[in-house]
Amino acid sequence: MEKQEIRTFGRRHGKKLSARKERLIEAILPNIAPNADEKNSILEIGFGAGEHMRELALDFPNQIIIGAEPFVNGVAALLSAICDENDTIMPEYKNLRIWPDDVRLLFNKAKFQFDTIWVLHPDPWPKAKHEKRRLLNADFLTLLDKNLHKNGKIIIGTDHWEYYDWILEQVKKTKLVSYESDTTEIVKTRYQQKNMAHTTEPKYIILGVE
Ligand SMILES: C[S@@+](CC[C@H](N)C(=O)[O-])C[C@H]1O[C@@H](n2cnc3c(N)ncnc32)[C@H](O)[C@@H]1O
């Protein structure tokens, strides 16, 4: 990052990776780096274990799906799910690209024109003293706007309602506008399923430029 950004994610490493996952990280990951020249692309920020990324790859076979995730075990889980027993990416997932780091570093590297940007269940950082770690502040939303196609949209989902309201307040400080969102069909990511036991339905925000 050009200036030292505040860290918005928890851990980078979880439990030790299997030998296969280590191998996939070494052999496959370098070959599927995002490239801003590949037009017609979709971005997912903080893809976790990549369930929704895989849905996107299948739903939009003619588009490039780029995912950013600094949590190594999440990246390894996605690689493991998209590769066959010969460590080759399955044909239906050939349109996936992975940025295994903070998405803000990707935006420093190149300018994109995404058709859609997804952010599902961003870390809510609920304690007041951690509020500055929230990713979806006005500056970041403006950065997303700069990397969005003029007809593109940003889709944000969270089951943390206080964060939801906070994001809408941040949107007011940007040029983005919020659209009605109740018709969106969203897959239930693993994080959301985990959370369903003790929270209510997620709410979605759809943003675009007027
Ligand atoms: C609460 S998890 C949700 C994961 C997944 N979207 C889901 O719904 O299961 C939030 C994820 O965002 C990632 N994240 C946080 N800050 C990020 C950043 N600056 N760039 C990319 N990913 C980030 C974290 O590493 C974490 O995996």
Distance (angstroms) between ligand 1 centre and the Cα of 81 equals: 18
DSSP state of 206: E
Q: Taking the domains of the chain in order of start, what are their residue ranges?
A: 34-209
Q: What is the DSSP string of 147-200?
A: TEEEEEEEEEEES-HHHHHHHHHHHTTSSEEEE--TT------HHHHHHHTTS-
pLDDT one digit per residue (tens) for the chain, 210 residues: 456 689 999 999 999 999 999 999 999 999 999 998 998 899 999 999 999 999 999 999 999 999 999 999 999 999 999 999 999 999 999 999 999 999 999 999 999 999 999 999 999 999 999 999 999 999 999 999 999 999 999 999 998 989 999 999 999 999 999 987 654 555 566 666 666 545 567 888 999 987
Ligand 1: which of 1, 9, 137 to mutate, most ligand atoms within 8 Å of CB?
9
**Fold of domain 34-209:** Rossmann fold (3.40.50)
Pocket lining: 102 vs ligand 1, CB cutoff 6 Å: yes
* DSSP H/E element including 151: strand 148-158
Pocket lining: 44 vs ligand 1, CB cutoff 6 Å: no
Distance (angstroms) between ligand 1 centre and the Cα of 122 equals: 5
Q: Is the dihedral of CA 24, 30, 36, 40 positive or negative?
A: negative
Distance (angstroms) between ligand 1 centre and the Cα of 210 equals: 28
Pocket lining: 119 vs ligand 1, CB cutoff 6 Å: no
State the Cα–Cα distance between residues 83 and 89, nearest whole angstrom: 4
pLDDT at site 5: 82
The residue whose C-alpha atom lies closest to atom 22 belonging to ligand 1 is 46
State the Cα–Cα distance between residues 189 and 210, nearest whole angstrom: 30
Residue type, position 144, single letter: L
Distance (angstroms) between ligand 1 centre and the Cα of 166 equals: 18
